[in-house]
Structure 1
């Protein structure tokens, strides 16, 4: 077999990055070469998994450590907005996010042509929410990976992306779409001007990317999919039924107490760990219960004192090795956390704060795999009741058992690798 080169270009966030790592691991196992196009601040992430990574400037050049903290600082600056409803985040967090994303695509166009010419990939896989003209124009098959909620590929019959709305709230869907388009109009106009400068046709209002004519990969499993008005063509759209990477093993530590108690894993992702006041509240609550908890506090370990004996803090956990060993998960609704819990059959309570976390929180409850929770407006009794239901409800357990068996049988990363390899 002739070895081919597959280039992966995830956005600069750990969810998309680690999802692509899982696929790249499977591509390598087929005998091909996987390389990464990377925000300079993420190069070390891919190198840590043994992959070659080529930096692509997505913003004005700055020291790598400053680059790596850009989105962390961005998120922390918006903590006051986390308590708002998704529609009320449109003219603050979402607006500023899209401004930064459009700027990143503009910056990338300076580097990408030269980087691609050096790498000479046979296939390019992009996990992002925006078009990079250089990739579309390079002349090899390009693939869009949708590692966020599947409603990133819009359909009039399903809730709009980022809305966190239920399937049947058609009036709410219309109001959200209207406000999104109103807020986004100036940013969208600027992006269309950038597309024109680079020989691309303008996109309709609200659209910043298109489906690939070659292949589009979605992470959602069958049991969580939306009922679309227009089903996606399987010749171009394939569901991976999850895409869980292989990570280093993890041994659950001995706790100071409650070693026979149910084990929780609490994580708001690499970016959400800046919400230290909420994590402190959860830690204090766990300290009064029969549970044990592993808590991801990111770079904020120094913020925590007087940690209960039934709680262990960590700056990072190899999540695919941790989740199989716990009894329930409290997380922010990032798509990797969402699909990993389903893949390993673990009930989740999702406390969303931004982006598709809102959609995944609603979806986990609508499909019977766990619960959505307000981020701040909950009582100790309410949260304990949800945890107990996660641990004891036979309907949730049965649903998770079926979903987990289905996802594990599908072997998402291997399926993705086979589909990518078929393009060459």
Structure 2
């Protein structure tokens, strides 16, 4: 392998995957590699801010960032529904939109890979882009969504929010899911065929890599599988938490009590009405609240004096100082809470948030509430109970120590470079 192998990282168009890949890229860079990013429209500058070179995919207006924002706004009411109900209202339309994106960027992606000529490609996504396989370059699958993304009879169905023992729920989910996803899956397989690739089995949009697969699921919340994944190709990480600049909490007019951090990610920040409801509850509590509202800061006129709103936070550094993390169940947020030994209150919106909400409760590292179906007293009491649960905090301290002893970003980078070196020889 060359002294500075170029490794292209291609995360999906979400900040969770993007920033997860930033952590891996930093560790690769520290080991002498040259990480570069393949960048979806709307994420221009995100990776350059961390000092990495970006290559920008070209796409039409029908699949750009504005279209995705409109898509989320349209589906906001559906986030109140159960995972089962979301299959028809949100999950199936989302797969259609994802397939649209794959088709739209194919030519641009193929041209960029030919231009960059990377030693390897790290794909952190839920779907395969044919240009990656067609390039002939070694590629690594990064599973930064829930572990349920890779199926197994003992693992609940992806996106279902079910527990492993719920066999009746599993049967019902599988019966409902197959026909709803079939149109998007058939269209995707037709595109694969047109690009000279084999079709994937029903319901699957991404194959495992023959080279290396990285899964972010920490051991504390990992499922026991009926068919264990081969260790030579599947590396489980203890999360994948990046370092950020030190966070000094600003002094608030009412500055007493534990620190609670709230972030529903870029998707949940759209839901300003829900966050305003929560601020009213926070106003009644003996705690400090730091709330990530994304690009919607101007939507908030009245802010309690024990609350600080921000359009962006160095999240891992904030979580490290927090006593409770309220989030949407995104896998990065879930892992960051575990890494720093902080209880989670998961209020899921969609996708694998439901899986992580269930896993949070099943493993005793927090609890979950419905996104909007709660009373002020219920939210207040849930927060207080989590802040006062010393037994949970002790369990989380042990989990944190285990995760920090083997940082996921370091193990990921080492596994990638070792596999490339072994394949070369």
Q: Shorter-chain TM-score: which interval?
A: over 0.9
- C-alpha distance in structure 1 between counterparts of 2:293 and 2:53, whole Å: 29
- Offset, 1:93: 1.0
Which of 111, 116, 132 aligns to 1:114? It is: 111
Retained in 2: the 8 A contact 1:298–1:315?
Answer: yes
- C-alpha distance in structure 2 between counterparts of 1:178 and 1:60, whole Å: 36
- Offset, 1:74: 1.8
- C-alpha distance in structure 1 between counterparts of 2:23 and 2:396, whole Å: 22
For 1:64-83, what aligned pairs fall within 5 Å after superposition? 67-83=64-80
Question: Tell me, what secondary structure is at the counterpart of 1:241?
Answer: coil
- Offset, 1:61: 4.6
Which of 231, 234, 240 aligns to 1:243? It is: 240
Question: Tell me, what secondary structure is at the counterpart of 1:371?
Answer: strand
- C-alpha distance in structure 2 between counterparts of 1:261 and 1:72, whole Å: 36
- C-alpha distance in structure 2 between counterparts of 1:45 and 1:266, whole Å: 22
Question: Tell me, what secondary structure is at the counterpart of 2:354?
Answer: helix
Sort the Cα spacing of 1:247 and 1:69 in 2 relative to 1 into closer, same or farther, 3 A: farther
- C-alpha distance in structure 1 between counterparts of 2:323 and 2:210, whole Å: 41
Question: Tell me, what secondary structure is at the counterpart of 2:204?
Answer: coil
Q: In the alignment, which residue of structure 1 is the partner of 2:35? A: 34
Q: Is 2:388 the partner of 1:392?
A: yes
Question: Tell me, what secondary structure is at the counterpart of 1:7?
Answer: strand
* C-alpha distance after superposition, 1:18-77 (max 9, x if no partner): 0000000100111110000111221210111111010123x4258xxx944443332222
- Offset, 1:325: 0.7
Q: In the alignment, which residue of structure 2 is the partner of 1:352? A: 348
What's the TM-score once normalised by structure 1's chain length?
0.96
| Structure 1 runs (4+) greater than 3 angstroms displaced | 66-70
For 1:273-352, what aligned pairs fall within 5 Å after superposition? 273-352=269-348
For 1:143-292, what aligned pairs fall within 5 Å after superposition? 143-257=140-254, 259-292=255-288
Question: Tell me, what secondary structure is at the counterpart of 2:308?
Answer: strand
Retained in 1: the 8 A contact 2:61–2:67?
Answer: no
- C-alpha distance in structure 2 between counterparts of 1:272 and 1:380, whole Å: 19
Alignment RMSD (CA, Å): 1.3
- Offset, 1:134: 1.6
Retained in 2: the 8 A contact 1:265–1:293?
Answer: yes
Q: In the alignment, which residue of structure 2 is the partner of 1:25? A: 26
Question: Tell me, what secondary structure is at the counterpart of 1:125?
Answer: strand
Unaligned ranges ≥5, structure 1: none
Retained in 1: the 8 A contact 2:325–2:337?
Answer: yes
Q: Is 2:397 the partner of 1:401?
A: yes
- C-alpha distance in structure 2 between counterparts of 1:8 and 1:345, whole Å: 29
- The range that moved more, 395-404 or 357-366, is 395-404
Which of 364, 371, 374 aligns to 1:368? It is: 364
Retained in 2: the 8 A contact 1:3–1:31?
Answer: yes
* C-alpha distance after superposition, 1:229-261 (max 9, x if no partner): 11111111111111111222221011111x221
Retained in 2: the 8 A contact 1:71–1:271?
Answer: no
Retained in 2: the 8 A contact 1:75–1:272?
Answer: no
- C-alpha distance in structure 2 between counterparts of 1:391 and 1:291, whole Å: 10
Question: Tell me, what secondary structure is at the counterpart of 2:43?
Answer: helix
Q: In the alignment, which residue of structure 2 is the partner of 1:90? A: 87
- The range that moved more, 208-217 or 244-253, is 244-253
- C-alpha distance in structure 2 between counterparts of 1:260 and 1:420, whole Å: 45
Question: Tell me, what secondary structure is at the counterpart of 1:186?
Answer: helix
Which of 367, 375, 380 aligns to 2:376? It is: 380
- C-alpha distance in structure 1 between counterparts of 2:271 and 2:44, whole Å: 26
Q: In the alignment, which residue of structure 2 is the partner of 1:16? A: 17
- C-alpha distance in structure 1 between counterparts of 2:70 and 2:269, whole Å: 11
- Offset, 1:204: 1.2
- C-alpha distance in structure 2 between counterparts of 1:72 and 1:91, whole Å: 20
- Offset, 1:421: 0.7
